[in-house]
Amino acid sequence: MSKIVDVNKKIEDAVVSGYKKVEDTVVGGYKKIEDKFVDTFLKKDGETTEEAKERLNKEQQELAEKNKSTAEDSLKLSKEINDKYVK
């Protein structure tokens, strides 16, 4: 039984190793493309690519919070109108 376990372990190691190499290559390629895009289109003067990414993430979070409060306000107003005019 241990011979089968040993063979399966070797197969497992080979598959995991191959997957990890593919994953690292794909993620690395994506990050290079992302950095180049930010550098070319989204970076402001004097800003590094990393600073631009941080700024964009902060802006995205602020926009999400604003949209959340706007949606909550709209829902509240809709309920008030419904309560007042629909009976």
How confident is the model over 51-72, as pLDDT tens digits?
999 999 999 999 999 999 999 9
Q: Are residues 8 and 25 in the same domain?
A: yes
Q: Are residues 3 and 30 in the same domain?
A: yes
Q: Are residues 35 and 51 in the same domain?
A: no
Q: Are residues 17 and 27 in the same domain?
A: yes
Residue 44 has pLDDT above 90, yes or no: yes
Q: Are residues 59 and 84 in the same domain?
A: yes
Whole-model pTM?
0.65
Q: Are residues 32 and 1 in the same domain?
A: yes
Q: Are residues 48 and 34 in the same domain?
A: no
What is the residue type of 34?
A: E
Domain count, the chain: 2
d(CA 82, CA 70): 18
- For residue 52, what are its two tokens? 């631009």
Range of the domain at 23: 1-42
Contacts for 39 with CB less than 8 Å, ≥ 6 apart: 49, 52
